[in-house]
Chains A and B, each alone.
Chain A
Amino acid sequence: MESLKNEESRVSHAETDGAVSDVAAPEPDSSGTTQVPWFRWLTIERRILFGFSLVFIGILLICAISYRNTRVLLDNSGRDTRSYELIQVLRDMDVATDEAEKHLRRYLVTGEPIYLGNYREVVKQKTTLVTYVQDLARGSVDQEERAERLNRTMERQLAAQAAAIAKLAEGGIKAVKKTALDGPAKQEIAEIHRIVAAMDQHERETLRLRVRQSAAETRKTIALLAAGALLQLVLLAAVYYLIRHDITQRRRVAAELKRHGALLEAANKELESFSYSVSHDLRAPLRHIDGYAALLRKAMADSMNEKAARYLDTISASAKQMGQLIDDLLVFSRMGRQEMFRTTVDLARLVSTVREDLRLDLHGRTISWTIGALPSVPGDPAMLRQVFMNLIANAVKFTSTRPAAEIAIGVDRRTPTEVVIFVRDNGVGFDMRYASKLFGVFQRLHRADEFEGTGIGLANVRRIVHRHGGRVWAEGAPDQGATFYVALPTEGGVR
């Protein structure tokens, strides 16, 4: 008997252990990267999320750096284009002013208007070109100032040239002889050459600097990207390690559970064959004791005295009692391993049939029943019947000494996941100090001569309710009656 009890408690321990290890993901011995205390507090899911967040931030940073560098390079290349353009425009202007001066001198000497073409071209384009140069030079104070100077110098040059042309028209070739030899805007042209040269040199210097800057920027970016990529790799490796570690752990736990399951199954098989032999072999000698006692009584019928007859009766009664114990124990052990048949059980109907079946045991007693509305619950009908049969039979039994027996059955409370049903009586009750013993195998709170029973009924009740995923408990006081509570999962609570 003792071994059976231990078996059960071991089984229930194994169940709770399994459930606990399933929930507790952060194992204290998960070494390596998990040395930081706060990191240990995180569940594995949060750790992985944390790791991936870092990787994500890293990728964003790399994107930002790449974007910035590309912007700088694009910017620089745009400025380079402008620089080259400026250099080109300056050269064109330089050549054009030179040509115009040269042709103008020829015009002053020959008076042929054909030589005025270049000058007129310069006059016509001067504003456009200068504006263009000013525009391209914008951004550098030196260049802007030079462009301004270029503008003024060119104005002076054109003014000088215009004056020479006017002088020719006024005083003929002789008047402009000297001017034609020197060139009407000799100083200005020289000045323009100087300015253009300076601007050209400045622009080339800027270009060179800018190329060097771009190269440096690019090198820096590449270094940053390389470092970032390395960091990403490290982070990803860490996350990979975390995940792999977790998977290994889980696999280990699963293997452990499987092993436990196999052990449990083997133990169950063993128990089954054990109870089979109990069923067969333990009952036979009892039958013989009772049988031979009866035969003896018959054989000695004439010469038996009263004392001897009482002894024989006691032998028979003891054999019968032990037979009952064995039968109850077998039912109990069968309850633990029997396959559960899951369906919906109408408790109202179940309770009414149980009451019907118990009517014979009442021996004409009157009991005032108060049956509340009872729900339907998922479960095994035969097993749940056993539960209510036991509870109601107990209530009937322990109120047998009451002149007005009262038994109430109903719903105590219900939550979305379970319903609590009570069976209350006004019988002899029990001392709450012994409440823990109530549901044990062969535990009795009353002497055999007070109330009969083998002490297995409530153990069966608890076992069945546990198998349904529910709970059972009792409240009571001596001579104040007892209330038994059965909490059963409802459809919403069954997993």
Chain B
Amino acid sequence: MSPAKPILLAEDNPRDAELALAAMEEHHISDKVVVCRDGAEALDYLYCRGAFTSRHRGNPVVVFLDLKMPKVDGLEVLRTMKSDANLRSIPVVMLTSSREERDLRESYALGANAYVVKPVEFGRFVSAVKELSLFWGIINEPPPDPSTSKT
């Protein structure tokens, strides 16, 4: 895998973000994680605009999306991504507290690649995040970057 490809984590709760990072740390992948604090920031990152205008071009290897976020929520980010030809192929994992059937149905209808309910138990949370990062960040081969392949 290309070392330049980061994992994008959209999570409004700093504690959740910290816990997720702590979980990834064990596999030394936390340094590849970009944390966005809401949906708007995540979209800014994906479109290289706002605070991310000067970031290294290229799509993240996977996006971990929280559902409930201020400004632009997870479903909105997912909808925007899946209707954009450049972003459509990025794998998206919904990482949320909600087990509501409605959320599950809507997420998959919009094209989410996976849906993971954050376990309350830290041990299980750690292993879930670890496995997710391992699979999507290392084991899974991401699609070729459309924007870079053109150049």
Contact = CB atoms under 8 A, between A and B. Distances in A.
Interface in B12-35: 13, 15-16, 19, 22
Given A276-B98, A276-B100, A330-B99, A284 B122 contact: no
**Most chain A CB within a 10 A radius of its CB, from B15, B68, B120, B126:** B120
A284 B67 CA distance: 13
A280 B73 CA distance: 13
A283 B16 contact: no
B121 interface: yes
Interface in A274-322: 276, 279-281, 283-284, 286-288, 290-295, 316, 319-320
A352 to B, nearest CB: 27
A373 B125 CA distance: 44
A272 to B, nearest CB: 9
B120 A290 contact: yes
Given A280-B68, A293-B122, A287 B19 contact: yes
A283 B67 CA distance: 14
A288 B18 CA distance: 10
B19 A279 contact: no
Interface string B94-120: 001111110000000000000000111
Contacts of A281: 68, 97
A280 B97 contact: yes
A291 B100 contact: no
The size bracket of the interface on A is 20 to 34
Given A283-B97, A284-B97, A319-B120, A291 B67 contact: no
B143 interface: no
A330 B117 CA distance: 14
Contacts of B121: 290, 316, 320, 323
A339 to B, nearest CB: 10
A332 to B, nearest CB: 13
Interface residues of B, number: 21
Interface in B109-151: 118-123, 125-126
A283 B123 contact: no
Interface SS, A side: helix
Contacts of B67: 280
A177 B47 CA distance: 162
A294 B98 contact: no
B22 A295 contact: yes
B15 A288 contact: yes
B122 A279 contact: no
Given A288-B15, A291-B15, A292-B15, A283 B120 contact: yes
Contacts of A284: 13, 15-16, 97
Nearest to B120: A323
Nearest to A330: B99
Nearest to A288: B15
A340 to B, nearest CB: 14
Given A280-B67, A292-B15, A295-B22, A287 B122 contact: yes
Contacts of B118: 283, 287
Contacts of A292: 15, 19
A276 B68 CA distance: 11
B120 A286 contact: yes
Nearest to B15: A288
A294 B119 CA distance: 14
Contact of B19 (A288, A327, A334): A288
Contacts of B125: 287, 290-291
B90 to A, nearest CB: 24
A287 B16 contact: yes
Contacts of B101: 334
Given A280-B67, A284-B13, A288-B15, A294 B122 contact: yes
A286 B121 CA distance: 8
Interface in A317-357: 319-320, 323, 327, 330, 334
Contacts of B122: 287, 290-291, 293-294, 316
Contact of A280 (B96, B123, B126): B96
Interface string A413-441: 00000000000000000000000000000
Contacts of A330: 99
B149 to A, nearest CB: 38
**Most chain B CB within a 10 A radius of its CB, from A291, A293, A327:** A291
A292 B16 CA distance: 10
A371 to B, nearest CB: 33
A294 B19 CA distance: 10
**Most chain A CB within a 10 A radius of its CB, from B67, B96, B100, B126:** B100
A188 B126 CA distance: 149
Nearest to B67: A280
Contact of B120 (A276, A295, A320): A320
Interface in A365-383: none
Given A280-B98, A323-B120, 6 more contacts: A276-B98, A279-B100, A287-B16, A291-B125, A292-B19, A295-B19
11 contacts: A276-B98, A284-B97, A287-B122, A290-B122, A291-B19, A291-B22, A291-B122, A294-B122, A316-B122, A320-B120, A320-B121
Interface of A: 276, 279-281, 283-284, 286-288, 290-295, 316, 319-320, 323, 327, 330, 334
Q: Which 5 A-B pairs have the closest CB atoms?
A: A323-B120, A294-B122, A291-B19, A290-B122, A291-B122
